[in-house]
Amino acid sequence: MLLPQKIKTKHHLSRPLYQPQQFPIMLRAVLAVALTVALSSWFTILLRTSTSDTLGLEFDLSESSHSTGRLQILANQTSKSDNHSSSYSNFSNSDALLWIKTEEAPFSHIDHGPYHDCGLFIAEFEIMMQNLKIYVYPDALMNGSRSSPFSPIFLPHPDPFHPRIGNYFSEHMFKVALFQSSLITPYPEEAHLFFLPFSINLLRNDPLVHSEVSISEFVAQYTAKISRNYKFWNASAGSDHFYVLCHSIGREAASMFHDLHNNAIQVSCSSSYFQRYYVAHKDVGLPQVWPRPPDKAVSPPDARHRLVYFAGRVQNSRIRQALVVQWGNDTDMDIFSTSPSFSYEEGFRRSKYCLHIRGYEVNTARISDAIHFGCIPVIISNYYDLPFANVLNWSKFSVIIRHEEIAFLKKRLLSITRLVYLNMYHNLKQVRRHFVWHRKPKGYDAFHMTAYQLWLRRKHKLFY
């Protein structure tokens, strides 16, 4: 067989495909790839073994476990837990057991459950708990003094569980929990982050301020005072400072102070990519949580005989209006634009999937309500920067649907197999702890998860 002659060319794309002299190079490339894959597999096995040792997990791989085809992950809370010591209070190694005993998942491989990388998260989280320090400006440290007419704006709320707090519960509970946490420091020189403790919710309800323009002016004047009286703001142009808000008008609060909205970290319930004053990766999405009674056992999957549940106003949302028109009369779904004949909570308990559909903002408390009651959230809210999305793999315990796909809602949900649904249900139970606030923070609760987001956004510590 005659080989094709070499063609002279000035461009590599027009070279003949057959080039015998390059065969050794190709062979070496294939061998290199094979070696890389082998090393990667070995490293993965080593990493999983190391992670299981760190978490104190025992994997039951007995003969009976193989015969049932189930993976049982059993928590070892004996000697390893007893020997664990930590520099931070109210936090133990048992809190790190983020996997639960799973009876429904087939034994194919060990994954990270509802997390992107559980082992990495736990390791970094523990480093944060041992090192992170937050300084709160003195306006919130008045020791109960209310001499200033604006003192309630800065002080922790005396009764954050009051029913009237409602949608702004997370905004107030962050401050309450921070003051009870081990992360706060009285020494600004050792702080990684600085908290601006004004409350947008209380400014909105204060007759001396109230309007959106007045709130923006108040926040701008307060930030200017901080920059004049303290060297820490000017040292970083505010990039290591943060403020917390859940009120819808809060997105405009920083509009009158350039460095505040450009550099400081906004911890916001209204975390939308589409908002001009919210910047993903700089700012932090805060879960909007309603105050609920202490955790109770959630309804098991077999007790959930309704496919879908939603109840809420439709006046301020074209998406909700389209939902009611499309599915309001479907016999498998409970879709209500008015109050149903049963309680709001009962709808979550008896349904497999619960809809979160954006209203005026991308966020509502229905996601945290669904998680609280064990109902798989179906999120129909474009541009929503979901809370803790760099830690939690939302696709493992929720369904995300674009606005344009409402017509295919039922088809999409019915296509989810029972096995996939059960895995999502078990994953959902694991993440419940992350959407719970405590006056004194503990474990991987909503406060510590939010603090972890701030830790990831910290700058290089400055020395004064």
pLDDT at position 96 is 43
Q: Do residues 242 and 313 both lie within one domain?
A: no
Structure confidence at residue 357 as a pLDDT band (50, 70, 90):
confident
In a domain, 26, yes or no: no
Do 318 and 382 contact (CB within 8 A), yes or no? no
Q: Do residues 216 and 351 both lie within one domain?
A: no
The bridge status of strand 57-60 relative to strand 399-400 is: unpaired
> What is the chain's length?
464
Do 179 and 197 contact (CB within 8 A), yes or no? no
Helix (H), strand (E) counts: the chain: 16, 12
In a domain, 30, yes or no: no
In a domain, 116, yes or no: no
Q: Among 144-153, 298-307, 365-374, 454-463, which is the least confidently predicted range? A: 144-153
* Residue from 111, 98, 132 nearest 396 by CA: 111
Q: Among 35-49, 293-307, 395-409, 416-430, which is the least confidently predicted range? A: 35-49
* Residue from 186, 255, 258 nearest 216 by CA: 255
Number of domains in the chain: 3
In a domain, 37, yes or no: no
Q: Tokens 């496919």 label which residue?
A: 307
pLDDT at position 33 is 57
User: What single letter denotes the amino acid at residue 378?
Assistant: V
Torsion, Cα of 297, 302, 303, 304 (10° steps): 100
In a domain, 20, yes or no: no
Cite the DSSP H helix spans in 11-156.
23-55, 63-68, 79-83, 118-131, 151-154
% of the chain at pLDDT higher than 90: 49
Helix, strand or coil, per DSSP, at residue 123:
helix
What ranges make up the beta strands (E) of 183-316? 193-195, 241-245, 265-268, 284-285, 306-311
Which carries the bigger pLDDT value, residue 411 or residue 272? 411
In a domain, 141, yes or no: yes
- For residue 436, give both structure tokens: 């719970």
Mean pLDDT of 358-376: 88
Torsion, Cα of 173, 175, 176, 181 (10° steps): 110
Q: Look at residue 105 and tell me whether its pLDDT is greater than 70.
A: no
Q: Do residues 138 and 287 both lie within one domain?
A: yes
Structure confidence at residue 53 as a pLDDT band (50, 70, 90):
very low
Q: Do residues 308 and 232 both lie within one domain?
A: no
pLDDT at position 31 is 62
Q: Do residues 159 and 283 both lie within one domain?
A: yes
Q: Do residues 279 and 312 both lie within one domain?
A: no
Q: Give the dihedral sign, CA 244/249/251/254.
A: negative
For 378, phi and psi rounded to 5 degrees? -110, 110
pLDDT at position 460 is 61
Q: Do residues 93 and 160 both lie within one domain?
A: no
Structure confidence by residue, pLDDT tens digits, 70-89: 223 323 333 333 333 333 33
Mean pLDDT of 242-257: 84
Q: At 374, which CATH number?
A: 3.40.50.2000
Q: Which domain holds residue 92?
A: 48-79+87-109
Mean pLDDT of 37-65: 41
pLDDT at position 146 is 54
In a domain, 9, yes or no: no
In a domain, 266, yes or no: yes
Q: Do residues 212 and 342 both lie within one domain?
A: no
Q: Do residues 276 and 154 both lie within one domain?
A: yes
Angstrom distance (rounded) from CA 335 to CA 349: 15
Q: Look at residue 17 and tell me whether its pLDDT is greater than 70.
A: no
Enumerate residues 6+ apart whose C-beta is below 8 A from 243. Answer: 195, 196, 197, 198, 253, 254, 264, 265, 266, 267
Q: Look at residue 69 and tell me whether its pLDDT is greater than 50.
A: no
pLDDT at position 24 is 55
Q: Do residues 329 and 219 both lie within one domain?
A: no
Q: Look at residue 142 and tell me whether its pLDDT is greater than 70.
A: no
Structure confidence at residue 25 as a pLDDT band (50, 70, 90):
low
pLDDT at position 14 is 37
Angstrom distance (rounded) from CA 280 to CA 264: 12
pLDDT at position 253 is 85
Q: Do residues 402 and 340 both lie within one domain?
A: yes
Structure confidence by residue, pLDDT tens digits, 199-241: 999 998 888 888 889 999 999 999 999 999 999 999 999 999 9
Structure confidence at residue 464 as a pLDDT band (50, 70, 90):
low
Which carries the bigger pLDDT value, residue 372 or residue 34? 372
Structure confidence at residue 276 as a pLDDT band (50, 70, 90):
confident
Q: DSSP for 417-456?
A: -HHHHHHHHHHHHHHGGGG---SS--TT-HHHHHHHHHHH
Q: Do residues 138 and 285 both lie within one domain?
A: yes
